[in-house]
Amino acid sequence: DQQVKQNSPSLSVQEGRISILNCDYTNSMFDYFLWYKKYPAEGPTFLISISSIKDKNEDGRFTVFLNKSAKHLSLHIVPSQPGDSAVYFCAASDGGSQGNLIFGKGTKLSVKP
């Protein structure tokens, strides 16, 4: 049973527009959420994170929103650039597991020039 779900395997967006990647989770004990970006033949790169005590965290073009009641988080990229084309993974952790990250299956983002 998947605890972290990314239901969209792929997303295509025009350069300059907003990209919205979604993630749902089932475990209410999760208290920290992270987004990673992965290019082919490279390891995942940490992008941005959010604690469950917040509902928004922003870093440059990247903003993560957390809706705890809906057990849903989203990553917004504005404006999208062709270099953002990659697979994006949502991950979650509960403090008691000492850092075991549980990942979704990923969403492949394609940003068209």
Partner 1 sequence: DAGVTQSPTHLIKTRGQQVTLRCSPKSGHDTVSWYQQALGQGPQFIFQYYEEEERQRGNFPDRFSGHQFPNYSSELNVNALLLGDSALYLCASSLGQSLGSYEQYFGPGTRLTVT
Applying CB under 8 A, which residues contact partner 1?
Answer: 4, 32, 34, 36, 41-46, 49, 89, 91, 93, 95, 97-106
Q: Which residue in 103, 96, 87 sits closest to 19, CA to CA?
A: 87
**Minimum CB–partner distance for residue 77 and partner 1 (Å):** 19
**Beta bridge mates, 20:** 76
Q: Which residues of 75-97 are buried (b: 16+ CB within 10 A; e: fewer)?
A: bbbeebeeebbbbbbbbbbbeee
**Beta bridge mates, 58:** 63
Q: In the complex with partner 1, which residue's Cβ is closer, 73 or 104?
A: 104
**Minimum CB–partner distance for residue 72 and partner 1 (Å):** 17
**Minimum CB–partner distance for residue 74 and partner 1 (Å):** 17
